[in-house]
Structure 1
Amino acid sequence: MAADFLLYGSYGYTGRLIAERARELGLSPLLAGRDARQLEAQAAELGLPHRAFALDDAAALDAALGETPVVLHAAGPFSRTARPMVEACLRTGAHYLDITGEIGVFEMAAAQDAKARAAGVMLLPGAGFDVVPSDCLAAHLKRRLPSATSLTLAFMGTGGVSRGTLTTMAESAGEGGAVRRGGRITRVPAAYRSMEVDFGRGPVTVTTIPWGDVSTAYHSTGIPDIQVYTRVPRRQVRMMRATRRLGWLLGSAPVQRMMKRSIARGPAGPTPEQRARGLSLLWGMAVDADGRAAVSRLRTPEGYTLTARTSVEAVRRVLAGEAPAGFQTPSRAYGPDWILQFDGVQREDVE
Structure 2
Amino acid sequence: MSNITRVGVDLAKNLIQVHAVDLAGKVITNRAMKRENFLQWCAQLPAGCLVAMEACTGAHHWCRQLRERGLDARMIAAQFVAPYRTQGKSGKNDANDAAAVCEAASRPHMNFVPPKTIAQQGMLCVHRLREGLKEERVACINRIRGLLAEFGVVLPQSPEVLRQHLSDLIEDAGNDIASMARLVLQRAQEHWQELDEHLKWCDQRIAAHQKDDEQVQRAAELKGIGPVTASAVVATVGDFKQFKNAAQFGAWLGLTPRQHSSGGKTSLGSITKRGGTYLRTLLIQGAKSVVLRGLNAQDDAITQWVQRLRERSGWQKAVVALANKNARILWAVMTKGERFDVHHISVNPSAAMPTGA
Q: TM-score range by the shorter chain?
A: under 0.3
**Structure number with larger C-alpha Rg:** 2
The TM-score normalised by the length of structure 2 is 0.24
Which is helix-richer, 1 or 2? 2
- Greater RCO, 1 or 2 (C-alpha within 8 Å, sep 6+): 1
